[in-house]
Amino acid sequence: MATYSRNAKVSCRLLRGVSQSKLTSVSVASYCTSSTAPGATGKIPESAKKGRLLTGATIGFIIAGGAYVSTVDEARFCGWLFTATKLVNPFFALLDPEVAHRLGVSATARGWVPREKRPDPAILGLEVWGRKFSNPIGLAAGFDKNAEAVEGLLGLGFGFVEVGSVTPVPQEGNSKPRIFRLPKEGAVINRCGFNSEGIVAVAKRLGAQHGKRKLDETSSTSPSSQEVKPGGKAGPGILGVNLGKNKTSEDATADYVQGVHTLSQYADYLVINVSSPNTPGLRQLQGRKQLKDLVKKVQAARDEMQWGDEGPPPLLVKIAPDLSKQDLEDIAVVALALHMDGLIISNTTVSRPDPVSRNPVSQEAGGLSGKPLFDLSTSILKEMYVLTRGKIPLIGCGGISSGEDAYKKIRAGATLVQLYTAFAYGGPALIPQMKAELAGCLERDGFKSIHEAVGADCR
């Protein structure tokens, strides 16, 4: 506690220093802005007044926050930091979407984001594939494509983080611009096309993180500590690795097998992505025969490797929401026959449901994600839960932006859930908010755990 108090005092001094320097710069800037030719009245422009007010309000918030956190405990300090991130969201909204994304990944990788110190509500904890999750809310693939910010993302409080999609050979992806915001609809259209630094670069990063994790475990383990804590190979949360194929590859199976051989040792689970709409021919791999042949060969590649007591990482398949009833039935048959470890439902959609269809941006090619995808993806999720008779863990993904949304996915058959677009719009503050809302939903309806609620709407 003494260390924390010292840190809080240091933080306050830094905040005061920053505020003083900002105030000085504001005064100089205002003077220069309002300066005119000799003899002018020196009237301050309206825009300058608004800038001063906004700057002053921001500085006031920082100073007040710095003073406040010096008098409270670590949990409140943590909550204040998450809330404060909302101030940055408008800035990111002004930037080009891909530039904003790049800045977000870099900031997280450098630790310039809050770190969750508060324990998750006990009701959210669960075990899947023999792995303990502190909560079922994860970050979908696409944000951290190259495993640059795993530690920072898990530190935000996600129960699990999925990196990728990772391709065997580095590729630039499709030409820019390739990401388009639809803020009123809470949606995004992207046609990135598996832009990736490749499996070698990702393996180096994950290997370094894995080594650091093992070293920390060795140095912190005491003979009297036998408690099994949530977490996996990357840290306090679970790490998934999403595998993709190169655009010009003629042998998709070989690409996925190479990904398994190189990256599975660092993953708590693996994902075969056969559903991105931005790689030509990829979705054809969801056909019954194609999917069966692919999964059998990738499973064999994983199982032929040497594994310790914990066994090989679970292997999941991510499917599209734009599938016919027959397609879903075929995938369910393959999943049950091959004893697949799980399915992620779903990827982005090529459809443009209302109200997106009325937005001119909807004419852009690519996959749609965000709120408009929720109903479609949840419908597919529910149908797949029924088809697989609840025997296969499902990860619900698509349009989740609140704890209530996550709860609806769980009731529709999801054991775990993922978000991305809502995180891009809402920032870190969304995560603790969603966890609190989800815990409240479970308690409201009398469920004592996540597992009790899974598939409740299908019974």
The residues annotated as belonging to the active site are: 276
DSSP per-residue letters across 21-71? HHHHHHHHHHHHHH--STT---PPPHHHHHHHHHHHHHHHHHHHHHHHHTT
| Maximum separation of any 2 CA atoms in the chain, in Å | 87
286 token code pair: 């969801």
d(CA 390, CA 386): 6
| Residues near 179 by beta carbon (within 8 Å), at least 6 away in sequence | 97, 98, 101, 188, 189, 190, 192
Distance CA 361, CA 364 (A): 6
DSSP run (H or E) holding 453? helix 450-453
CA angle 316, 318, 322 (to 5 degrees): 150
Q: 438 vs 119, 137, 172, CA distance in Å?
A: 15, 10, 38
Q: What is the rounded end-to-end Cα distance, in angstroms, of the chain?
A: 49
Among the listed residues 431, 330, 312, 450, the one whose alpha carbon sits nearest the alpha carbon of residue 388: 330
Q: Identity (one letter) of the amino acid at 188?
A: V
> Phi first, then psi: what are they for 405, rounded to 5°?
-60, -45
> Cα-atom radius of gyration of the chain, to the nearest Å?
24
CA quadruple 390, 367, 253, 241: dihedral sign: negative
